[in-house]
Amino acid sequence: MKTINKVLLGLAVVGSLTVAAADGAKLYKSCGACHGASGEKKALGKSAVIKGWDATKIVEALNGYKAGTYGGAMKGLMKGQVKALDDAQIEALAKYIESKK
Protein backbone atom coordinates (compact mmCIF):
# COMPACT_ATOMS: atom_id res chain seq x y z
CA MET A 1 0.00 0.00 0.00
CA LYS A 2 2.87 2.39 0.73
CA THR A 3 4.18 1.96 -2.82
CA ILE A 4 0.81 2.97 -4.25
CA ASN A 5 0.75 6.08 -2.06
CA LYS A 6 4.25 7.04 -3.23
CA VAL A 7 3.27 6.57 -6.87
CA LEU A 8 0.13 8.65 -6.42
CA LEU A 9 2.08 11.37 -4.63
CA GLY A 10 4.66 11.40 -7.42
CA LEU A 11 1.96 11.71 -10.06
CA ALA A 12 0.34 14.56 -8.13
CA VAL A 13 3.63 16.44 -7.94
CA VAL A 14 4.34 15.97 -11.65
CA GLY A 15 0.80 17.03 -12.46
CA SER A 16 1.06 20.18 -10.38
CA LEU A 17 4.38 21.11 -12.02
CA THR A 18 2.83 20.64 -15.45
CA VAL A 19 -0.14 22.84 -14.48
CA ALA A 20 2.22 25.52 -13.12
CA ALA A 21 4.25 25.50 -16.35
CA ALA A 22 1.06 25.76 -18.41
CA ASP A 23 -0.17 28.61 -16.21
CA GLY A 24 3.16 30.40 -16.60
CA ALA A 25 3.02 30.07 -20.39
CA LYS A 26 -0.54 31.35 -20.43
CA LEU A 27 0.31 34.27 -18.15
CA TYR A 28 3.37 35.16 -20.23
CA LYS A 29 1.31 35.74 -23.37
CA SER A 30 0.53 39.29 -22.26
CA CYS A 31 4.20 39.86 -21.30
CA GLY A 32 5.47 38.67 -24.67
CA ALA A 33 3.89 41.57 -26.51
CA CYS A 34 6.53 43.89 -25.01
CA HIS A 35 9.28 41.54 -23.79
CA GLY A 36 9.36 39.22 -26.83
CA ALA A 37 8.56 35.54 -27.15
CA SER A 38 11.34 34.52 -24.77
CA GLY A 39 12.05 37.75 -22.88
CA GLU A 40 14.77 38.80 -25.31
CA LYS A 41 13.57 42.38 -25.88
CA LYS A 42 13.75 45.59 -23.88
CA ALA A 43 10.06 46.31 -23.34
CA LEU A 44 9.14 49.40 -25.33
CA GLY A 45 12.89 49.97 -25.67
CA LYS A 46 13.10 51.05 -22.02
CA SER A 47 13.32 48.04 -19.72
CA ALA A 48 15.99 45.46 -19.01
CA VAL A 49 16.03 42.26 -21.04
CA ILE A 50 14.50 39.63 -18.71
CA LYS A 51 15.77 36.57 -20.58
CA GLY A 52 18.36 34.88 -18.37
CA TRP A 53 16.95 36.13 -15.07
CA ASP A 54 16.48 33.51 -12.38
CA ALA A 55 13.04 32.95 -10.84
CA THR A 56 13.98 34.58 -7.54
CA LYS A 57 14.95 37.83 -9.26
CA ILE A 58 11.75 37.77 -11.32
CA VAL A 59 9.56 37.18 -8.25
CA GLU A 60 11.28 40.05 -6.44
CA ALA A 61 10.82 42.37 -9.42
CA LEU A 62 7.16 41.46 -9.97
CA ASN A 63 6.35 41.82 -6.28
CA GLY A 64 8.21 45.13 -6.25
CA TYR A 65 6.23 46.38 -9.23
CA LYS A 66 3.04 45.27 -7.50
CA ALA A 67 3.99 47.14 -4.32
CA GLY A 68 5.23 50.17 -6.26
CA THR A 69 8.75 49.82 -4.82
CA TYR A 70 10.60 48.57 -7.90
CA GLY A 71 11.28 49.86 -11.36
CA GLY A 72 12.29 52.82 -13.39
CA ALA A 73 10.66 54.15 -16.53
CA MET A 74 8.25 51.20 -16.75
CA LYS A 75 7.20 51.23 -13.08
CA GLY A 76 3.69 52.60 -13.61
CA LEU A 77 2.93 50.39 -16.60
CA MET A 78 4.20 47.27 -14.87
CA LYS A 79 2.27 47.96 -11.67
CA GLY A 80 -0.90 47.79 -13.72
CA GLN A 81 0.22 44.58 -15.39
CA VAL A 82 0.92 42.69 -12.16
CA LYS A 83 -1.68 44.09 -9.76
CA ALA A 84 -4.13 41.20 -10.28
CA LEU A 85 -1.53 38.41 -10.01
CA ASP A 86 -1.49 36.35 -6.83
CA ASP A 87 1.64 34.76 -5.34
CA ALA A 88 1.11 31.44 -7.13
CA GLN A 89 0.71 33.15 -10.50
CA ILE A 90 3.83 35.26 -9.94
CA GLU A 91 5.77 32.11 -9.04
CA ALA A 92 4.48 30.25 -12.13
CA LEU A 93 5.29 33.21 -14.35
CA ALA A 94 8.79 33.54 -12.86
CA LYS A 95 9.54 29.85 -13.39
CA TYR A 96 8.31 30.06 -16.97
CA ILE A 97 10.47 33.11 -17.74
CA GLU A 98 13.47 31.45 -16.07
CA SER A 99 13.01 28.42 -18.35
CA LYS A 100 13.59 30.64 -21.41
CA LYS A 101 17.36 30.87 -20.77
pLDDT in tens, the chain (101 residues): 565 555 445 444 444 444 445 699 999 999 999 999 999 999 999 999 999 999 999 999 999 999 999 999 889 999 999 999 999 999 999 999 999 98
- Picking from 31, 65, 67, 63, the residue whose alpha carbon sits closest to that of residue 50 is 31
Q: Determine the number of helices (DSSP H) and then strands (DSSP E) in the chain.
A: 4, 0
Q: Provide the pLDDT for residue 40.
A: 97
Distances (CA, A) of 10 to 2, 3, 5, 65: 12, 11, 8, 35
pLDDT at 17: 42
Look up residue 52 and give its DSSP letter: T
Beta carbons of 85 and 61 less than 8 angstroms apart: no
Taking the model in full, what pTM does it have? 0.77
